[in-house]
A = this chain, B = another copy of it.
């Protein structure tokens, strides 16, 4: 079964909202093994919508519409489909009752145009709307299945999950289950990663392996199909095992995790506290850590020592250290990490000092960063970064490298 998702709404074409509905539906369909080959967005215009349906019918046998089911004049999805496939629109009594009940409940006046929302395609299975008024529909004719869903995500998502998916699955001749897993990597570029695993990529078929690069990370998505979910997962396990034998050094987690989330897990497990001295990152490391609930048992706090004055006054960095080596130096990073650990009596002290940019500092180019990691009963480690991003790209990368190096230290 091949699907196309058509979102109807001029507000999408004007760039006022993002088409999150297509993402949501695509993700759901991938999980039940329906291929989505196209998304289309078209405005509130009957003629252009009709033509888009014709295009979609040539390349998909399941067409899912979102939007245009409301009470106003520019809502014309079901009217256009009805005309196109030669079906009448009929009042759905249950939908009408629930619309009337809605107005009663919210003590609002029901204007005449709201009755339009109870009209459905003759012969369609009606999909109840538990969070709004316009019902959804599922209709199958000889050649195609059509699913009509409301536009607002808070109405569409539960309707599709609870009723739409079921209607589709009942029609599907389900043979294969699709399973997928995302592996996350840090510290390796997309092209280098691909070169390392080229031999695997070249002979992939089932599972397939798809690399995707974001600004700072690379992910590999492994997707497998099989009649048995268990076997599909076994194929993924096997591919993962082989991939990690090449690039396992850069692997840090699965699916929707982040470097910070993984670091927090390790700190929690090892029962360790941390204190931070941040210069160029100016609190970003600590702020990101605090974005996860329950970190107060880990994060003791620390200092934003953006100026040299603050480095001396708040973290007792020796004046001579800064004079001799500069604020952006191995020596300053070391003192910052060690002193913040002592100040807050934590197990770990981490420090970030560097040149965010755009200008150079102390003759050092933008992107030069030192990270210090001090630990009780361990020698202090320092790490040099030479980044090449924008000011805030450099700051964000520094935070990620901080997580990366600290994790490596703690799991050695």
> A residues bordering B, Cβ < 8 Å?
10-20, 22-30, 36-43, 45, 48, 51-52, 55, 59, 70-74, 102, 105-109, 111-114, 131, 152, 154, 180, 182, 189-192, 194-195, 201, 210-215, 221, 223, 276, 278, 280-287, 289-291, 293, 295-296, 299-307, 309-310, 313-314, 343-344, 356-359, 386-393, 395
Which residues in B have their C-beta under 8 angstroms from that of A26?
12-15
**Distance between A268 CB and nearest chain B CB, rounded to angstroms:** 15
What are the 3 A-B residue pairs with the smallest beta carbon separation, nearest first? A283-B283, A15-B27, A15-B26
**CB contact under 8 A between A310 and B18, given known A280-B290, A303-B301:** no
Would A15 and B40 count as touching, CB distance under 8 A? Answer: no
Specify which of A287, A302, A314 lies most central, judged by the most chain B CB atoms within 10 Å of its CB. Answer: A287
- Besides A106-B388, A284-B290, 7 other A-B contacts (C-beta < 8 A): A12-B26, A17-B23, A18-B18, A73-B194, A102-B388, A283-B285, A287-B287
Give the residue name and chain of the B residue nearest to A3 (CB): B13
CB-defined contacts of A114 to chain B, threshold 8 Å = 191
Across the interface, do B306 and A286 meet the contact criterion of CB distance under 8 Å?
yes
Say whether B42 contacts A14, CB under 8 Å. Answer: no
Partner of A190, one of B72, B212, B302, B389: B72
| A14 touching B37, Cβ below 8 Å | no
Assess the A307–B314 pair: CB atoms within 8 A.
Answer: no
What are 20 A-B interface contacts by the 8 Å CB criterion? A10-B210, A15-B29, A18-B20, A19-B22, A37-B42, A38-B41, A70-B190, A73-B201, A108-B189, A112-B195, A131-B393, A282-B286, A282-B301, A283-B283, A287-B395, A296-B306, A299-B307, A300-B310, A301-B305, A301-B309
Tell me whether A344 and B310 are in contact (CB under 8 A): yes
Of B22, B109, B191, B293, the residue contacting A113 (CB under 8 A) is: B191
A51 touches B59 (CB 8 A): yes
Query: Complex: how many Å from CA A404 to CA B358?
Result: 28
The answer to whether B113 touches A213, judged by C-beta atoms less than 8 angstroms apart, is: no
Contacts of A182 in B (CB 8 A): 16
Query: Quick one: which of A14, A131, A192 has the most chain B CB within 10 A?
Result: A14
- Say whether A309 contacts B300, CB under 8 Å: yes
B283 touches A108 (CB 8 A): no
A289: chain B residues at CB < 8 Å are: 282
Docked-complex contact A291 and B395, CB < 8 angstroms: yes
A134 CB, nearest partner CB in chain B, Å: 11
| Contact present for A213 and B41 (CB under 8 Å) | no
B residues less than 8 Å from A48 (CB atoms): 37-38, 59
Please give the distance in Å from A362's CB to the nearest CB on chain B. 13
Q: Could you tell me if A16 and B22 are in contact, using CB atoms closer than 8 angstroms?
A: no
Cross-chain contact of A357 among B189, B293, B310, B390 (Cβ < 8 A) = B293
By the criterion CB–CB under 8 Å, are B36 and A38 in contact?
A: no
Would A108 and B22 count as touching, CB distance under 8 A?
no
CA distance A344 to B13 in the complex (A): 49
How far, in angstroms, from A302 to B48 measured CA to CA in the complex?
A: 54
CB pair A304 B291 closer than 8 Å: no
